[in-house]
Amino acid sequence: MVTFIGFSTIDQYKKFTLVDYDLIKRDFLNALSIQQGSMPGRPDYGTTLWSYVFEPQMPGTQQAILTELQRVAGGDPRLYILDAVTYPQENGMLIELSVQVVNSSTVELLSVMFDEETRRASYI
């Protein structure tokens, strides 16, 4: 089995090493927290999901959100999104994702909150 090893100081105290699924989740959340085009030298990194936060939840908007999530996840060869459902919230948008780690049969449910006030994406 392949083990993914990385480092993160976000929400970590004394132990900065992340492995496997925890690392994949952190990398994906980092990509969702960055506005596309704002990272120097990497104009395709990040997401445009922030432009959909207060849009009406019409079928076309839902499809655009799913397409954008799959594009962002496509930048990480370890992750595959099976399904996504969006829920409008008072201060942003909640997205529930069914994700699968490549080379694994386990499907995980992730809930990501896009908070317009803090301009951050976070897991719930």
pLDDT in tens, 54-93: 788 788 888 899 899 999 988 888 888 999 998 888 888 9
Residues with Cβ within 8 Å of residue 80, at least 6 apart in sequence: 73, 99, 100, 101, 102
Residue 114: how many CA atoms within 13 Å on its side-chain side? 23
**Domains in the chain and their CATH numbers?**
5-123 (3.10.450.40)
Cβ neighbours of 63 (radius 10 Å): 10
Does the pLDDT at position 17 exceed 70? no
Mean pLDDT, residues 37-50 taken together: 85
The confidence score (pLDDT) of residue 1 equals 46
Structure-block tokens of residue 94: 């909640």
Across the chain, what does the average pLDDT equal? 82
The reported pTM is 0.78
Mean pLDDT, residues 105-110 taken together: 88
Closest CA to 99 of 70, 71, 123: 70
